[in-house]
Structure 1
Amino acid sequence: MFASFNHDNFHHICDQLAAADTDLALIINNYGYPLLWSRPNSFESLVHIILEQQVSLASALSALNKLKEAIQEITPGRVLLLTDEELKACYFSRQKTAYVRYLAEALLCGQINLKAFEDLPDDEIRAQLTALKGIGNWTVDVYLMFVLHRADIFPIGDLAAVQSMKKVKKLSPNISREEMVLLAQQWQPYRTVATMLLWHDYLSRRKNSV
């Protein structure tokens, strides 16, 4: 069985982390509990995460909604019927058009099975997904965290999480990725929930600075 979290135990895990880490406790004291970000285990969710690569969340959501307008239901078969020009009209870059096509083909031919992922360990899911062009560790991390609710992921490739950790922990701007990964081990086996607290801090600070 894989360590996971849900709406029933999410606040309890936040409290456990806060009891062991005063910096995380301060986030809850300042801003309350974070949202439990969650998405269904679907092709659409993975398309959404691919669209979020290296762009703003608003831009990604705009492209996803445009795609929904075009095909109503986002399925591998419907996406593959679209031309490059039609996907471009949905704000898809040339690269992301290719990535989403590879994913759709992998699902249709049975190379990957999203339902089966629910019973596989994190490393095996990572190996299968990163074998697809355009899917790297950040995309897999977000899928594991938001979709499968795996409890112990720290997405070192996520800029917001890294920036927030540096701020919250008062770390050197020049700290290495390896050092940050080591520091994040203090939050095991709930690094995912700790990351959600870091994102909560990051987003709350940005909101309050506007």
Structure 2
Amino acid sequence: MIKDGFFLEKIHVEGPYNFDLVLDRLSNDPLNQVDIENRSVKVPMLLNHHPVVAEVKAIGTTDKPEFFIFGTDGPLKEKAAVRLSDIFQWHLPLETIHMHFQNTELKPIFDAHYGTPIVLDFDPYGCILKCIIHQQLNLAFAHTLTERFVKTFGFEKDGVWFYPLPEKVAELKVDELRELQFSGRKAEYVIGIAKETAAGKLNFDELKNLSDEEIYDKLIKLRGVGPWTVQNFLMFGLGRPNLFPAADIGIQNALKKLYKLEAKPTLEEMETFSKSWDPYLSYASLYLWRSIE
């Protein structure tokens, strides 16, 4: 089966892996080109500074996951396949993680969302920009503002939008982002991150090789980056498995619902609840979000 370019390969993944729930979550972001009926998503990637679009289509089941990958053939084919495996976390044994939670209070949620992986944002640089944009906004407007930003200053290839390059954003003026309804401070943060990236001071390939603590120490120094932003970047930018952003309102609301609390849990209560979830706190976080989405 060949479509939109050359057939790259067929992927077999160890189950469980529920790609339909992956697509459901990805479809919440209007920038993602998701086709629920076709069970596919188009993925924009910058590889060696070249924009590449690949389409991932599920052909298997949750217990026996299989995928076709379509895209443009060429010298970046192998790198694209590696990056896709990283984005969709095809290497992780979700059954091991699922079993870890069977003797915890999260068992009903893990059963309901069986085989849901953490899927990374398609680009780490785009991930940290999105985290900055989403700060202190309701989810609907956060997606709207991000979409405005990308479609105004980014670029399109094969019907898929790429985040604007750091060099482009670094040259923007605060007023240009304020026209999109950015706050002045948030505009400054986004431009500042872009300047650090364009200058090579913030290198995402190097970050991948650092520990969570080293990345935290490096990113927290950037204007506009707080603990919540670092934790979300570690989880959805790099796929680190043991993050629990306790300050996240969604997680607080999910715990309030799960434990039938009258008020949102305190940080001390959240620490107590989460002790048995280590070393897969990122998955606890994801499934808690899923439980209220």
Check whether the contact 2:118–2:239 (CA below 8 A) recurs between aligned residues: no
Partner of 1:181: 271
Distance 1:171 1:186, change over 3 A: farther
Number of residue pairs the alignment of both structures matches = 198
What secondary structure is seen at the aligned counterpart in 1 of 2:106? helix
Q: Distance in 1 between matches of 2:273 and 2:107?
A: 17
1:42 to 115, 118, 124: 124
The answer to which of 171-180 and 139-148 deviates more is: 171-180
Secondary structure, in 3 states, of the residue corresponding to 1:127? helix
Match of 1:65 among 125, 144, 147: 147
Of residues 161, 164, 182, the one that matches 1:92 is 182
**Separation (CA, whole Å) in 1 of partners of 2:168 and 2:133:** 17
CA spacing shift, 1:17–1:167, aligned 2, 3 Å: farther
Match of residue 9 from structure 1: 92
Q: Amino acid of the residue matched to residue 141 of structure 1?
A: Q
Distance 1:25 1:182 in 2: 17
Q: What is the letter of the counterpart of residue 17 of structure 1? A: H
Taking the aligned partners of 1:154 and 1:91, their CA distance within structure 2 comes to 30
Give how far 1:71 is off.
Answer: 2.0
Distance across 1 between alignment mates of 2:149 and 2:138 = 17
Greater per-residue strand proportion: 2
Taking the TM superposition and a 5 Å limit, the aligned residue runs for 1:45-194 are 45-73=127-155, 74-171=164-261, 173=263, 175-194=265-284
Question: Which residue of structure 1 lines up, in the alignment, with residue 285 of structure 2?
Answer: 195
Alpha-carbon separation, structure 1, partners of 2:106 and 2:152: 43
Higher helix share: 1
SS at match of 2:147: helix
The CA deviation at 1:43 is 2.1
Letter paired with 1:20: N
Q: Could you tell me which amino acid in structure 1 is paired with residue 287 of structure 2?
A: L
Cα deviation digits, residues 79-109 of structure 1 (max 9, x gap): 1222222211223211110111221122223
Flag the 1:31–1:195 CA change in 2: closer, same or farther, 3 A.
same
In structure 2, the residue matched to 1:20 is 103
SS in structure 2 opposite 1:197?
A: helix
Identity of aligned residues (%): 27
Amino acid at match of 1:126: Y
Output the TM-score relative to the length of structure 2.
0.62
Q: Is the 8 A contact 1:33 1:197 kept in 2?
A: no
Unaligned runs of 5+ residues in structure 1 are 204-210
Q: Distance in 1 between matches of 2:264 and 2:108?
A: 24
| TM-score when normalising by structure 1 | 0.84
Answer with 1 or 2: which has the greater Rg: 2
CA distance in 1, matches of 2:90, 2:136: 29
